[in-house]
Amino acid sequence: MAYSDKVIDHYKNPRNVGSMPKSDPQVGTGMVGAPECGDVMRLQIKVNPETQVIEDAKFKTFGCGSAIASSSLATEWVKGKTVEDALQIKNTDIVRELSLPPVKIHCSVLAEDAIKAAIGDWKRKRAESESQPEASTAAAQGD
Partner 1 sequence: MQVSPSPSPACWSCHAATDGAHFCPACGKIQPLASADYFAFFGLPQRLQLDADDLERRYLSLSWKLHPDNFVRADQFERDLSLELSSQLNDAYRTLRDPVSRVEYLLARLGVRKEGQTRQQAPPELLEEVFELNESLEELHMAREAGGDGDETAELRRRLEEAGRGFEKKLADVDAELAAASRDLDAAMDGARDPLLARLNEILNRRSYIRNLVANVARELQEGEPA
Q: Choose which of 56, 113, 115, 122 interacts with partner 1 (CB under 8 A).
A: 113
Per CB under 8 A, the list member of 1, 2, 13, 35 interacting with partner 1 is: 35
Report whether 74 contacts 103 (CB < 8 A): no
Between 1 and 141, name the residue whose CB sits nearer to partner 1. 1
Residue 139 engages partner 1 in binding (rule: CB under 8 A) = no
Closer of 49 and 124 to partner 1 (Cβ): 124
From start to end of 25-141, where are the E strands? 27-34, 39-47, 54-62
**Contacts of 78 by beta carbon, 8 Å cutoff, 6+ apart:** 45, 54, 57, 86, 89, 115
Contact assessment for residue 40 and residue 31, using Cβ atoms and an 8 Å cutoff: yes
Of 12, 18, 23, 36, the one binding partner 1 by CB under 8 A? 36
Instruction: Give catalytic residue positions.
Output: 37, 107
- Is residue 58 a contact point for partner 1 (CB under 8 A)? no
Question: Facing residues of 57 across strands?
Answer: 45
Q: What angle do CA 10, 102, 9 make, to 5 degrees?
A: 10
Minimum CB separation of residue 133 from partner 1 in Å reads: 26
Contact residues toward partner 1 (CB under 8 A) are 31-38, 40, 42, 60, 62, 102-103, 105-106, 109, 113
